[in-house]
Amino acid sequence: MSAPVKPASDTHAIAEAADILLRGGLVAMPTETVYGLAADAADGEAVARLYAAKGRPSFNPLIVHVSGPDMAARCVEIPPLAAKLMERFWPGPLTLVLPKKADAPVSELAGAGLETLGVRMPAHPAAQALIAAFGRPLVAPSANPSGAVSPTTAQHVAEGLGDRIDLILDAGPCPVGVESTVLAIDGDTAILLRPGGLPRAEIEAVTGPLKSAKADAPLSSPGMLKSHYAPNATLRLSAVAPEPGEAFLAFGPGAEACTANLSRTGDLTEAAANLFALLRQLDAEGHERIAIAPIPMDGLGEAINDRLQRAAAPRD
Ligand code: TXA
Ligand code: MG
């Protein structure tokens, strides 16, 4: 049986969701980036159920969703640079990886046994309402089976995980459309672990040039498995035009012969918001091969290109 879908704007649905979470259940919640699958961060059994529902490797830590810097401070140490970033960018699509406090109300499993935790304050009112009603931190990975395309609508969640979770809160399509930017803070150094919904340039205006995660330190961002966000179709990136037999996902004006367009006006923010839904749509239409137009690297283009490269990577 598929989980009930209820409007996130309904205060009764939020109260019911908080109650399900208190009893160790799993609730899909809208955030501004993608839908997350929420569980009580402190409840090891609930977190184990969450890993099982997603089929997620347990070495891949979860992001702890908080109501603000005060709740974050119960979980992690907050050096001045992190405080500055929170002040500037929270609530919003920025996850900060910080040293975990010994008495953090977060199960060992949620942090995958690491000495750090990723914390984020979502900007979406539904996520904020759920955290407020629950009163404690919620872990929430993207609400999709591990390795699949992240969900940006309640229907995407129902298709992927509907029979394995307890409730889906529906607030329509997610406005940002790609996951949060993940930044590790080590003293006064900021290291980019995952490009995402907050563009690099905005962060660098505060931090100066970001360091990149070392390729030889895979555990610095355990979730960045090479093949990820994978649709069924094979993808060919930076394609100027489709070859025979290929669907064409275009970007920008002047592409009449396309199957779909990420943004007809060439707007990267619109393209990010459309990305996952269009990949799913092309997949559902049964195309075996999809050619995708080049996407510029500025603004949200870095996150879009990152997800496309993972979606195109060879799978085992
Ligand atoms: O926008 C988002 O971040 C969404 C919404 C639901 O909030 N969540 C999300 O979670 O994308 P997930 O689990 O799909 O991705 C979390 C990423 C993974 O790459 C994980 O490895 C990384 O964050 N991460 C979490 N905690 C970490 C830590 N302590 N150290 C390094 N990387 C961490
Ligand atoms: Mg994910």
Of ligand 1's listed atoms, the one at least distance from the Cα of 114 is 29
pLDDT, residue 225, reads: 59
Half-sphere exposure of 5 (CA within 13 A, CB side): 16
Cα-to-centroid distance, 118 and ligand 1 (Å) = 7
Beta pairing partners, 7: 170
The set of residues, in sequence order, having a beta carbon less than 8 Å from that of 1 and lying 6+ positions away, is 163
Cα-to-centroid distance, 288 and ligand 2 (Å) = 24
Mean pLDDT of 216-236: 67
Nearest by Cα to 16 from 125, 134, 151: 134
Cα-to-centroid distance, 304 and ligand 2 (Å) = 14
pLDDT, residue 218, reads: 43
Mean pLDDT of 202-213: 95
pLDDT, residue 1, reads: 80
Cα-to-centroid distance, 150 and ligand 1 (Å) = 12
Q: What percent of the chain has pLDDT over 90?
A: 88
Residue type, 227: S
Q: Give 292-303 pLDDT, tens digit per residue.
A: 999 999 999 999
pLDDT band at 219 (very low <50, low <70, confident <90, very high): very low
Of ligand 1's listed atoms, the one at least distance from the Cα of 180 is 1
Q: Is 199 in the pocket of ligand 1 (CB under 6 A)?
A: no
Q: Give 45-66 pLDDT, tens digit per residue.
A: 999 999 999 999 888 999 999 9
Q: Is 118 in the pocket of ligand 1 (CB under 6 A)?
A: yes
Q: Is 224 in the pocket of ligand 1 (CB under 6 A)?
A: yes
pLDDT, residue 192, reads: 97
231, pLDDT greater than 60: yes
Strands 27-29, 5-7: pairing kind? unpaired
As a whole number of angstroms, the distance between CA 308 and CA 272 comes to: 11
pLDDT band at 226 (very low <50, low <70, confident <90, very high): low
Beta pairing partners, 64: 119, 139
316, pLDDT greater than 60: no
pLDDT band at 314 (very low <50, low <70, confident <90, very high): confident
245, pLDDT greater than 80: yes
Cα-to-centroid distance, 118 and ligand 2 (Å) = 13
Question: What is the number of the ligand closest to the CA of 123?
Answer: 1
pLDDT band at 274 (very low <50, low <70, confident <90, very high): very high
Mean pLDDT of 117-125: 98
pLDDT, residue 294, reads: 97
Cα-to-centroid distance, 213 and ligand 2 (Å) = 18
Nearest by Cα to 139 from 63, 70, 226: 63
213, pLDDT greater than 90: no
Cα-to-centroid distance, 150 and ligand 2 (Å) = 6
Sign of CA dihedral 67, 11, 168, 151: negative
pLDDT band at 111 (very low <50, low <70, confident <90, very high): very high
Q: Is 36 in the pocket of ligand 1 (CB under 6 A)?
A: yes
Residues measured by CB to lie within 5 Å of ligand 2, the ion: 142
Nearest by Cα to 107 from 28, 56, 47, 57: 47
pLDDT, residue 232, reads: 83
**How is the chain classified by DSSP, letter by letter?**
-PPPEEETT-HHHHHHHHHHHHTT--EEE--SSS-EEEEETT-HHHHHHHHHHHT--TTSPPEEE-SSHHHHHTTB---HHHHHHHHHH-SSSEEEEEEBPTT-SS-TTTTTT-SEEEEE----HHHHHHHHHH-S-EE--BSS-TTSPPPSSHHHHHHHHGGGSSEEEE-SS-SS-SPPEEEEEETTEEEEEE--SS-HHHHHHHHSSPEEPPTT-GGGSTT--SS-S--SSEEE-S-SSPPTT-EEEE-SSS-TT-SEES-TT--HHHHHHHHHHHHHHHHHTT-SEEEE----STTTHHHHHHHHHHHHS---
Q: Give 60-107 pLDDT, tens digit per residue.
A: 999 999 999 999 999 999 999 999 999 999 999 999 999 999 999 999
pLDDT band at 220 (very low <50, low <70, confident <90, very high): low
What angle separates helix 80-89 from helix 200-207, to the nearest 10 degrees? 140
Return the higher-pLDDT residue of 284 and 255: 284
Mean pLDDT of 272-276: 97
Of ligand 1's listed atoms, the one at least distance from the Cα of 35 is 6
Return the higher-pLDDT residue of 214 and 56: 56
Q: Is 157 in the pocket of ligand 1 (CB under 6 A)?
A: no
Mean pLDDT of 190-206: 97
Of ligand 1's listed atoms, the one at least distance from the Cα of 65 is 7
Question: What is the number of the ligand closest to the CA of 222?
Answer: 1
